[in-house]
Amino acid sequence: MNIARLFSVVAMFAWIAFILVVVFMVVQASRSKPVKRSGLVILIAGIVALVLSTVSAGLVFIEPQERGVVISAIDPKGYREQALDPGLHWVIPFAESVVRYPISRQTYTMSIKTSEGQLEGDDSIEARTSDGQKVLVDASIIFAVDPTKVVDVHITWQDRYDRDLVRAQARGVIRDAVSQFGVAEVYSTKRFELVDLVSSELDEKLTDNGLILVDFVLRNISFSQEYADSVEQKQIAEQLAQQGKFVVEQKKQEAEQARQTAQGQADAAVIEAQGRADARLIEAEAEAKALELVAAAIEGNPDLLTYQYINQITPNIDVMLLPNDSPFLFPLPEVGPTSPVTVVPGE
C-alpha cells in the first residue's frame, strides 16, 4: 500500500471517528449527562479528520506503468503542461485532480468471431481488392500511449483513444491498403507486403496523435463463398494439370529408356558383327599366309605334293611305288579281299 492510499484510509477512519464522537456527545446530552468540553472534543476530531482528508487529497502516487495528467482549477489553461511521472507527488488539494493514463502495451482486436474483439459480434474489416473481390480482414493492433504526449492524448482523445482513434484509423488504413492488391496477392504472394504497408501507414497516423504502434497483426483474411469455390476449382484444375504433366513426363522417360535399350542392342549387334568380321579377316589372312608357305615349299620340293597326297589317302588302302624306268617287275603283295591296291608310278 502506498502512502497516498494509506492517508486516504486514515482520513476515512478519522471521519468515522468524528461521526461517532458527535453521536456519542448528542446521546449523552439527551440523557442529561453531557460530557465536559464536548464542543472542544468535536472540534478537535473534526479538525483532525479535515487535515487528514486534505493531506490525502493532495498526495498522489503514480504507478510505474502510468502517467498522470493534472487537471487544475487554478491554472489558466486548466491543466498542468507536464504529466506526473511514477512516484509520490503533491497537488493542491480540492483544486487539482489527477487523471491516470496507462503507458503499458494495449491490444485492440477486430475479429469476425464474436468473443475475440473489444466489440460484441462480427467486427472484421470488410474491404475490396483492386480486382473488385470482397475480403474480410481480422486484425490486432498492439500499441501504447507515448509517455511524452500523455497530456496531448488527454486533451484530444481523453479515454476514447482506443475506440475513436486506433479502431477508426486501423479500419481505414487496412481498407486503403487492401485496395492496392489483387485478391490472389492478398492471401499469397504479397501478404507480407500488405502487412508492411498497413504498419507504415498506421504508425504514422498513431504517432501524430500521441500513440506508439508496437505491432500490427494480420490475423486472418476471409473470402466470399463464390471466390472460395472458384479458388478450390482452380486448385483442382491445377492438380489435374500437374498430374497430366507427370504422366507425360513418365511416358517420355519410358520412351527414352526404350530408345536407349534399342540403341544398346543395336550397338551390341554392330560390335558383335564387327568382331566376327575381324575374326574372319584374321582367319583369311592366316589361311593366305599358310598357302603362301605351302606354295613356297612345293616350289622347292615337287615331290612334297605327292607325299602329301599319299598321306591323305585313306589308311586302309595299300600303296606301292614303282619307278617308271625300272626293268623289273615286282609281285604285288597279297592283299585281302577288302583291301584295295593303288599303284603309284614313280619317276
Read out DSSP for 40-89? HHHHHHHHHHHHHHHHHHHEEEE-TTEEEEEEESSSTTSB-SSPBPSEEE
Question: What local confidence, expressed as pLDDT, does residue 286 receive?
Answer: 77
pLDDT per residue as tens digits for the range 298-320 = 776 766 666 666 666 655 555 55
Q: Residue 341 and residue 322: Cα distance in Å, rounded?
A: 13
For the chain, the 3-state helix, strand and coil shares in percent, each to the nearest 5, are: 55, 20, 25
44 or 238, which is more confident: 44
Q: Residue 176 and residue 288: Cα distance in Å, rounded?
A: 100
Q: Tell me the β-bridge partners of 344.
A: 321
Residue 322: pLDDT above 60?
no
For CA atoms 277, 283, 288, 289, give the dihedral sign. Answer: positive
The mean pLDDT value of the chain amounts to 82
Q: Residue 245 and residue 233: Cα distance in Å, rounded?
A: 18
Question: What local confidence, expressed as pLDDT, does residue 203 receive?
Answer: 95
State the average pLDDT over residues 229-245: 69
State the average pLDDT over residues 160-181: 94
263 or 194, which is more confident: 194
Q: What CA–CA distances, in Å, run from 24 to 11, 40, 41?
A: 20, 14, 11
Nearest of 91, 95, 93 to residue 68 by alpha carbon:
91
Q: Residue 80 and residue 147: Cα distance in Å, rounded?
A: 15
pLDDT band, very low/low/confident/very high, at 208 (cuts 50, 70, 90): very high
Question: What local confidence, expressed as pLDDT, does residue 18 receive?
Answer: 87
pLDDT band, very low/low/confident/very high, at 40 (cuts 50, 70, 90): confident
Question: What local confidence, expressed as pLDDT, does residue 242 receive?
Answer: 75
Q: Tell me the β-bridge partners of 126.
A: 136
pLDDT band, very low/low/confident/very high, at 327 (cuts 50, 70, 90): low
69 or 27, which is more confident: 69
Q: Residue 7 and residue 275: Cα distance in Å, rounded?
A: 117
Quick check: helix, strand or coil at residue 299? helix
Contacts of 55 (CB under 8 A, 6+ apart): 7, 11, 93
Contacts of 195 (CB under 8 A, 6+ apart): 216, 218
pLDDT band, very low/low/confident/very high, at 346 (cuts 50, 70, 90): very low
Kindly list the structural domains of the chain, giving each domain's residue range(s) and its CATH number in brackets, ordered by start: 3-102 (no CATH), 106-223 (3.30.479.30)
Range 3-20 burial, b when 16+ CB lie within 10 A, else e: ebeebbeebeebbeebee
CB-hemisphere CA count at 13 Å for 243?
A: 6
pLDDT per residue as tens digits for the range 100-113 = 999 999 999 999 88
Question: What local confidence, expressed as pLDDT, does residue 25 receive?
Answer: 84
Q: Residue 141 and residue 101: Cα distance in Å, rounded?
A: 18
Question: What local confidence, expressed as pLDDT, does residue 106 receive?
Answer: 95
Residue 296: pLDDT above 50?
yes
Range of 39-43, 88-92, 119-123, 292-296 with top mean pLDDT: 88-92
281 or 185, which is more confident: 185
Cβ–Cβ under 8 Å, residues 69 and 60: no
Amino acid residing at 189:
T
How many degrees, rounded to 5, is the angle at CA 64 between CA 155 and CA 90? 65
15 or 294, which is more confident: 15
